[in-house]
Structure 1
């Protein structure tokens, strides 16, 4: 579930309790090991560095960054959960791109994902133990070089300390 070539994907998220469908954009650069996530709402964006196993929230309006704790990094990298089993289900086309559908089970979690041959997640539908169904489906897939500036924290941003109670929070604000 890691792209093998540069790609930018726009996803539509549905099924979040009380939240209307929302768009999220992700850009992947396997050569640098970096991934950018632009979540709904435009409050900021995440920069994940898989090679360094780190992630930072970037808030452009405040010209600030906040390092994410390791547990949050693990949840954002879309790695396969330990002990997960996969069963090939069939083929599909999502956002004009062919993919293979897989049923996945990991503990009580269940879901179906459609993944391209080059590792791009195009659709995932998961059912939580409480029965809630969450869907993330690509609406646009664009292969091609990801601008390195989109995968770099702008200079001059200030590193902020994570709020109290966030696991792994440490350090005081320092200029970057």
Structure 2
């Protein structure tokens, strides 16, 4: 069955760099990152780690996220302020609603507070850790000086920290254009209760 809702981890990956206040709010160089996911299974029980991948092109202003589960991949166009889920198996795309796009591409939310904790090393790279509070949301993000999110930790309602994702490999290199383009011939699908739209290219 097609999962329509965007995973929380995808939203974190897209939005957290904009929530902290390091020297840069998004990558300043083309980069591809592999993350290990540690989100709990249903009921809060531990789950086996999963893998998620992200690629960011500075010149194109585009970001690709391949979440766990092989359900498809997401293409975020920050210049056009759009995001689509691309489902290769169905040769289809699904445009994300404006609220979801906004959560991925917005700047710092009003009233957000930030506390610098210190530094850490993740995947062999140095990063600065920031405690972030925005409304009811709390967490810690570790971001490099050139804007790459290396680790994101959320705090559930019970107050026990939970690592959402952590980088295991970071590669600085140009991102192939084909990885940031919806293939020709894919058809737009409508979200439940909404109309389909033309996919981003």
- If the TM-score is normalised by the length of the shorter chain, which range does it land in? 0.7 to 0.9
Q: Which residue of 1 aligns with 2:165?
A: 136
Q: Offset at 1:105? A: 1.3
**Aligned 8 A contact 1:109 1:129 in 2:** no
Q: How many residues align?
A: 171
Q: Which runs of at least 4 in structure 1 moved beyond 6 Å after TM superposition?
A: none
Query: How far apart, in 1, do the equivalents of 2:175 and 2:77 lie?
Result: 14
Q: Which residue of 1 aligns with 2:27?
A: 3
Query: How far apart, in 2, do the equivalents of 1:136 and 1:82 lie?
Result: 25
**Per-residue CA distance 1:93-117 (angstroms, 9 max, x = gap):** 1001111111111122221111000
CA gap 1:148/1:65 in 2 versus in 1, 3 angstroms: same
Q: Which residue of 2 aligns with 1:15?
A: 39
Q: Which residue of 2 aligns with 1:159?
A: 188
**Aligned 8 A contact 2:188 2:196 in 1:** no
Please give the TM-score of this superposition, normalised by the length of structure 1. Answer: 0.88
Q: Which residue of 2 aligns with 1:170?
A: 195
More helix by share: 2
Q: Offset at 1:80? A: 3.7
Give me the CA root mean square deviation: 2.2
Query: How far apart, in 1, do the equivalents of 2:73 and 2:63 lie?
Result: 11
CA gap 1:108/1:145 in 2 versus in 1, 3 angstroms: same
More strand by share: 1
Q: Offset at 1:173? A: 8.9
Q: Offset at 1:14? A: 1.0
Q: Secondary structure at the match of 1:71?
A: helix
Q: Which residue of 2 aligns with 1:105?
A: 133
Query: How far apart, in 2, do the equivalents of 1:124 and 1:154 lie?
Result: 31
Unaligned runs of 5+ in 1: none
CA gap 1:172/1:98 in 2 versus in 1, 3 angstroms: closer
Question: In structure 1, which of residues 42, 54, 57 is the aligned counterpart of residue 70 of structure 2?
Answer: 42
Q: Offset at 1:142? A: 0.6
Q: Comparing 153-162 with 126-135, which one deviates more in the overlay? A: 126-135
Please give the TM-score of this superposition, normalised by the length of structure 2. Answer: 0.78
Q: Offset at 1:134? A: 4.3
Q: Offset at 1:77? A: 3.9
Query: How far apart, in 2, do the equivalents of 1:173 and 1:140 lie?
Result: 34
**Aligned 8 A contact 2:95 2:197 in 1:** no
